Amino acid sequence: MSDCAFADITRAEGSVGQALMASPRSPTAHFAKGQVLRAQRRHAEAISEYQTVIALNRNHVNALAAISSCKLHTGSIEQVIPVLEQAIRLSPRDPYIAAWYDRIGLVHLLQSRIDTAILWLEKARHADPELSFAHAHLASAYALKGQSERAATELAEARRLSGDHRFSSIARLEAVTDFGVPVVRALHEATYLAGLRKAGMPEE
């Protein structure tokens, strides 16, 4: 989300190193290190940092949510939902809960459990109607269900809410999205991207 992301992340890496030297048992510093690693797409290493956060503060729901994201990117897809369910139990009114609902819905979508995916994605949309990617996931799910009108409506809303035009085409979405390891990338292609194509998203 920056015009000079590489420089910003490099500066953040240096700063978090200094923070950890000053406070090696700080959950905040370890969480920041995890965030830097995740920004560098070093998801497996980030998991280790987030697990350190949980060891220091077992109720750190943001670390749990971050672990779920990293598990998805590294291919441990079956572990994503249990981690998010734990976060939801700890913080059932969390300001980020819509994103957690959405990720649960996405996992169901990737595993072709379309009806269950729609239930969770609708929960995400209800919790935060401004969440552009929840609308995009819903567009895909509804298209895969053959509900083309609802799919088109959700895709239009995703485009309206997105600030970077990522939902203008498949090529644009692929250019700005880290889908994770090849096996997860293949699941996105077979479900999420296939649904978006059915919903009317062009290739270019």
Q: pLDDT tens for residues 35-67?
A: 999 999 999 999 999 999 999 999 999 999 999
- The count of domains in the chain is 2
Q: Within the chain, how many helices (H) and strands (E) appear?
A: 12, 0
Let me know whether 77 and 170 are in one domain: no
pLDDT > 80? residue 120: yes
Is residue 1 very low, low, confident or very high in pLDDT (cuts 50, 70, 90)?
A: low
First to last CA, the chain: 22
Q: Are residues 109 and 203 in the same domain?
A: yes
Domain hosting 40: range is 1-92
- What per-residue confidence (pLDDT) applies to 11? 94
Residues 57 and 145 in one domain: no
My answer on whether 156 and 197 are in the same domain is yes
pLDDT at residue number 192? 98
**Is the pLDDT confidence value at 33 over 70?**
yes
Are 69 and 149 in the same domain?
Answer: no
* pLDDT (average), residues 65-74: 98
Q: Do 119 and 41 fall within a single domain?
A: no
Task: Indicate whether 85 and 110 sit together in one domain.
Answer: no
Angle at 202 between CA 201 and CA 204, to 5 degrees: 135
Q: What is the CATH number of the domain that holds 108?
A: 1.25.40.10
Domain boundary among 30, 63, 92: 92
Per the CB < 8 A criterion, the answer to whether 199 and 143 are in contact is yes
- Tokens at residue 154, please? 């959700």
- Choosing from 92, 121, 146, the residue where a domain stops is 92
* Residues 48, 69 within the same domain: yes
d(CA 63, CA 53): 7
Counting residues of the chain whose pLDDT is more than 90, the rounded percentage is: 96
